[in-house]
Amino acid sequence: MNDFALPVTQQALAHEALAYCTVQPVILAGGSGTRLWPLSREQSPKQLISLFGDESLLESTVHRLDRLFAREPNTHAAPRFERAAPIVVCGAELRLATVERLERCDGGPRLLLEPSPRNTAPALTLAALAAQADMPDGPDPVLIVMPADHMIADNAAFVAALAQAVFHAAQGAIVTLGVPPERPETGYGYIRTGVPVGRQGARAIDGFVEKPDRELAERYVASGEYWWNSGIFIVRASVWLAAIARCCPLIASTCAESFARASLDGAGALHLDRAAFDACPSDSIDYAVMEHLGSDMRLTGVVVPLVAGWSDVGAWDAVWQLSEKDSDGNVGRGRVVFEGSTDSFAHSDGRLVACVGVTGVVVVETADAVLVAAKERVQEVRAIVGRLKAEHGAEVHEHRKVQRPWGFYDSIDRGERFQVKRIVVQPGGRLSLQMHFHRAEHWVVVRGTARVTRGEESFLLSENQSTYIPLGVTHRLENPGKTPLEIIEVQSGGYLGEDDIVRFDDQYGRGQETGKAGPGISS
C-alpha cells in the first residue's frame, strides 16, 4: 500500500487491525564502540558496559519497549500490540557476556550468534528469518530493530513515535525514526525528507546521505529538510526479506543458508553456520536497502520524527553531554577531583584522578590505560585504537580485570617469563577442565576453599595452602563453598598468551579450544 494518507474510516480500520499485530523486537548487539576506549574493549564493548547508572546500554534497550506493550486499563487511544520475545543478534565470542546482561531482563530474550561480524544488513536478515520461523502459520510480524548501544532520554515520546511507525510498517512501508537536528553534526548520517505522510509529522523518505562535512551539515540544518538517521528501523519481516533479496541477493541467499544450517546450544542460543555465513557480504542496512528508497518505486519508505533526547553515545563528548554536571560544567565518575576546571569529563576505575586548571578535557582511567583528550577531538580515539590494534596491544582486546561466567581474574603483574593473576571464583563456580602446552601454574589460596583436579587427583585446599600444576597436565579449579574463593596464580613458561589452552569439559557451554586457537579464551 503506497498511499498512507488514508481517509478517516480507513485509518480507523487499519488502527483496529493493529490490535492483532505481532511486534518482534530485534536488538543489534554487535558493535565495538571503539571511540569509547579505554572503557570499551573488543571483549567488553559499549553495549555491555554501564555508562549511565547500573544498567548496561543493552539492558536499557531491552527495557525501553516495555511501555509499548503495557496494557493499561480503560485506555483505548493506542492499539495493543502482541509482543514476541526479543531477538538479540551478536557475535559468538560475546555470547557469555551478553547472556549475563540479558539474565537481568524479563521476557526471555533469544540469541542469534554470528560466527564473524558482517554489519547490520545480514544481522537484520537473520532476525527476520528467525521471526518468520517462529510464526510459520501465524501473522507476519513487524520488526522493531534497534542498536543495543543508544540512549533515549524521553521514553514516553520514543514509544509514541514507535506506535506511529508500527502503523505505517504494518501496511508495508520500510520505516525509520529520524531525529530533527538540534545542531550541525558531522558524526551522523542524514535522511532527506519528502512529502508529509498522514497527519502526525511523518514524511516520505527521499534519500539517505552520508556523514557530511561541517559546511554541508550547516546547510542541511538550515533547510529543515534533513533529519539525523537514528539507526532504528520498523518493518514487516516479509517486507525486509523481499527488499534484501531485490537489492542484495547474495546477502539474502547466504543468510538463508546459514540460518537453515544453524544449530541450537544447550542454553537455547542459535549458532549460525560458519561456512555459509563466511560467504556473506558485509553491509549496513543503510547501504544495502535504505539508500534505494526514493529511487526504487517498488520500495516505500517513511520516516517518523523522533524528539525524545536520542543519542548514539558515539564518543566521550556525548557521555559528557548526557550526564549531570556540576556548577562548572564538569562530570566526574569514580575518584575524581576538579580544581579550577570547567566543561570537562573525568572517569576513574580506581585511582584518584585530579584535574587542575583544565577546560574541555576528557580523562578516562582504567587499570591498564589512561586516555587524555580534548573534548572536541574525541572522535579521533578510534585512530588510537587502530594503532594499538596494528601493534597487537592487549589493551584493545580486554581489560586487565576480565569477567568470566564463574567469576573474574585480574592480571596484576607480568614479566618476560611469568604472569601473576588474582582469581576470584563465585560459590558453585567451576573453571573448565583444561591443559596448557607452554606454561605451568602455581596456586595459593588466600580466601575460601578450593577443590582442585590435577591429572587423576582431586583434593581440597584451604587458606594458605598451595599446589603446583605442571605443564601439560589436565586440571580444574572449583569453589565448593558458600563464600567466594580467591587465589593467587603464578604462571611461568615460554608463552603466556590466553590462547594457550585445550578445554576438555565446560559447564558454561564453551566449546573445546586447542592451543593457539585465538585470544581471550582462557579459564
Show the low-confidence residues of the chain (pLDDT under 70).
1-20, 70-80, 107, 136-138, 294, 296, 510-523
How far is Cα 484 from Cα 462, in angstroms, rounded to an integer?
Answer: 12
pLDDT for residue 511: 57
pLDDT for residue 107: 66
pLDDT for residue 505: 86
CATH number of 8-311: 3.90.550.10
Domain segments of the chain as ranges: 8-311, 316-386, 400-505
For 400-505, the fitting CATH number among 3.40.50.300, 1.20.1250.20, 2.40.160.20, 2.60.120.10 is 2.60.120.10
Computed from CA positions of residues 316, 321, 322, 326, in that sequence, does the dihedral angle turn out positive or negative?
positive
Chain centroid offset of residue 42 CA: 11
Block residue for cell numbers 535504505: 290
DSSP-based three-state secondary structure for 395 = helix
Q: Is 174 left (phi over 0), alpha (psi -120 to 50) or beta?
A: beta
pLDDT for residue 30: 86
Give which of 227, 235, 236, 232 is closest to 305, Cα–Cα: 227
Q: Is 404 exposed, middle or buried (0-12, 13-18, 19+ CB in 10 A)?
A: buried
Q: E strands, 293-398, where?
A: 301-305, 310-311, 331-333, 336-339, 345-348, 353-356, 361-365, 370-374
pLDDT for residue 510: 65
Q: What is the pTM of this model?
A: 0.85
**Which cell numbers in the block locate residue 80?**
495493543
Looking at the DSSP bridge assignments, the partners of residue 401 are 410
Give which of 39, 41, 34, 42 is closest to 50, Cα–Cα: 39
Angle, helix 249-260 to helix 120-134, in steps of 10 degrees: 50
Same fold, 8-311 and 400-505: no
How far is Cα 313 from Cα 153, in angstroms, rounded to an integer?
Answer: 12
Read off the DSSP letter of residue 39: T
Residue 482: phi, psi to the nearest 5?
A: -105, 0
DSSP-based three-state secondary structure for 385 = helix
pLDDT for residue 192: 94
pLDDT for residue 20: 58
Block residue for cell numbers 540469541: 111
Give the H or E element holding residue 433.
strand 433-435
pLDDT for residue 93: 87
Give which of 486, 207, 159, 151 is closest to 321, Cα–Cα: 151
Contact 346, 356 (CB under 8 A): no
